[in-house]
Amino acid sequence: PDMTVTAANLWFCRVMGKTPPDIVGSNLFSLQFLSPADEQDIRGIFLRCLSGEMPHFSDRRVILQGEEREGYLWFEGYRNTEGAMLGVMGGWFDVTERKTLARELRLARDKAEQASFEKSEFLARMSHEIRTPLHAIIGILELAVKQQRQSDDPLHIAWQAADSLQGIIGDVLDFSKIEAGNIDITLQPTSLTQLLDNCAATFRLRAEEKGLELLTAISIPHSALHWLDSIRLSQVVNNLLLNAIKFTDQGQIQLRADIHYQANQPRDRVTIEIEDSGCGIPPDMYQAVLQPYVRVETAQGAPGTGLGLPISAKLVALMGGTLQLHGSESGGVSVTVALSLQRAAAVPLPEPAPVVAETAVEGESLNILVVDDLAVNLQVLALQFATSGHYVELVSSGSEALQEAEQNYYDVVLTDCQMQGMDGYTLTRHLRQHQQRHQMPPYAIVGCTANAFASERDRCLEAGMDEVLIKPLSQIALLDGIAQIWQRISSTSATGDQFAEIQALAQADSQQEQALLSTLLQGMEQDLEGIINYRDGENVSQIAHHAHRLHASFALLHYYPGMRVCLRIEKTQRFDQQTMDALVKYTAAIIRLVQQRLQYFHGEK
């Protein structure tokens, strides 16, 4: 074939810089508009189409008139009415500009994602670097203020300033996280009434300290559950209550909530309103104060960043709701949060076990292992725990903590997450492996971090921690946090089917099971009698002996509370009155459990 051009459109002519008469009749490749390599490829495609092969379609880059272009290439042979091949039709869709734009958009997106990642990393580092020393400052000042008990003391003033600084840092970091898209909304069935009551209880004392009355009117049934992010909604309500108290000098603050049921719909309309009798906001500033860093000058001159309302508004928006400001009849401000919430089905309660044994002693003194590689943090935590009644051991590295936990028993391990050498995540994984390997009763591992990002909590829970506490921690927040976590662990860790192992040993033979239970009961009664006889004396070796025997009995029945108190005696040599009382209580409880099981076999009521 001679490659003679029989027709050419205007675009091809424009690219070639020629007119149609200049091109038609010429040899296609004599026009020299392609690079030698591209010309060779296209010549091969042309010949294959001419030989009757299937049409050719491809995306490719070519050097066209000395310039690299991208396009969609097509060639197809054509025939006359008798079927004889006459030639090849071909064309080129130039997509260079579209491809270039797509590459630029991808590059811009990658740069934006990298910038967002770097910003998040920076915020995480800054959060850690700022909150860590602040934890020491606030912790020491708080303890010193409790000793002084004078509101005009310089230490009290410094503590208030540090507490204010903590709030400012929290606002700035929270807003940055929202702007970077690092806030996730996690829905769970929640009682709105319980959530709002908790928020009000948190701020009632602060309001009373200013001579203010904090009133609540919540018209939502306590049993009504809705899918919502309880942490984020609490943050919004707490922000609004804090603002109301901050800018109100006299009068009252009202927290109201109403629910509007929507017939034949799975969602309810909920409104939460917080109204104060404070200095108010000019109506023309209602929208402005929802923008970051905008503050209204007031006579109070209250400190802050101007971020509380913007953060609240953005969090409400993330939850699909709205936040609006209005003037109140008392001259203050009324803030209304409107949400559309999906109803949650009532959560069924677990079936009760046939016999429920005691699982906790009120005011229980715990064995707590505290791990932190910063000496100042260990000192602060030691002071915060000093009056708690707990037994606390301090170590300064993950490897020390692992060795200590393997040799002794601890109810709670409180570990810093970011440590040199073995960090808190690695330590947790090792501790869980040790717990499983030695069939120990469940105990609490609590992370302590200055990184307030949600991803940090996920990382901690994934490693095996039960909960995470965010620095800086006040003494109340620390002790309450530990108490709540321990209550959760201790209340869910006594198994209901406590005779499963006995039944397995008896191989489903009821007479054999009765014999095993009788032997077990006799041994426990002897151990209980021995403990009662020796607990007021000084023969600790006898108590340790009975505790060791009881530990085996408790383990056979999977009775974790008893196992824990025995481990405290065996591993840490605790023989205080409270520990002895707990051992007697748990032993008596499990004896009753076995007696009731035997009565069941004997058909007794």
What's residue 342's pLDDT? 92
Q: Which of 95-104, 495-504, 593-602 has the lowest mean pLDDT?
A: 495-504
The closest of 71, 76, 74 to 50, measured between CA atoms, is 76
What is the predicted pLDDT for the residue at 127? Answer: 67
- The answer to whether 180 touches 119, Cβ cutoff 8 Å, is yes
Q: What are the start-end ranges of the H helices in 149-210?
A: 154-179, 192-209
Asked if 323 and 315 touch (Cβ cutoff 8 Å), the reply is no
Task: Specify the 3-state DSSP secondary structure of 59.
Answer: strand
Give the tens place of pLDDT for each residue, 404-461: 988 888 999 999 998 999 999 999 999 999 998 888 888 999 999 887 676 788 899 9
What is residue 358's predicted lDDT score, i.e. its pLDDT? 44
Contacts of 336 (CB under 8 A, 6+ apart): 271, 272, 273, 323, 324, 325, 326
Q: Which residues contact 55 (CB under 8 A, 6 or more apart)?
A: 49, 74, 75, 76, 77
Cβ 34 vs Cβ 62: under 8 Å: yes
Classify residue 133 by its DSSP letter.
H
Q: CA-based Rg of the chain, rounded to a whole angstrom?
A: 37
pLDDT by residue (tens digit) across 187-232?
889 999 989 998 898 788 888 888 899 999 999 888 889 999 988 8
Asked if 147 and 116 count as a contact pair (C-beta separation under 8 A), the reply is no
Going along 41-115, which residue ranges are E strands?
56-64, 67-79, 85-94
Mean pLDDT of 115-120: 73
Residue % of the chain over a pLDDT of 90: 20
pLDDT-wise least confident of 107-116, 274-283, 534-543, 545-554 = 534-543
Q: Encode pLDDT of 488-499 as tens digits.
A: 887 654 555 677
Residues comprising the chain, all counted: 605
Q: What is the DSSP letter of 55?
A: P
Kindly report, residue by residue over 351-398, the tens digit of the pLDDT: 334 443 444 445 568 889 999 998 888 988 998 898 888 989 999 999
- Whether the pLDDT of residue 92 is over 60: the answer is yes
pLDDT at 360: 46
Query: Of the candidates 242, 492, 246, 470, which has an alpha carbon nearest to the alpha carbon of residue 359?
Result: 492
Query: pLDDT tens digits, residue range 465-485?
Result: 999 998 888 888 899 889 889
Q: Mean pLDDT over residues 74-85, rounded?
A: 85
Residue (of 402, 405, 407) closest to 425 by Cα position = 402
Phi, psi dihedrals of residue 515, rounded to the nearest 5°: -65, -45
User: What pairing do the DSSP bridges indicate for beta strands 367-371 and 412-416?
Assistant: parallel
389: left (phi over 0), alpha (psi -120 to 50) or beta: left
Which two structure tokens, joined as six digits, stand for 488?
């959760």
* Short-list 435, 439, 437, 417, CA closest to 427: 417
- The tens digit of pLDDT for each residue in 268-325 reads 999 999 999 887 777 777 777 777 656 665 545 455 555 678 888 989 999 999 999 8
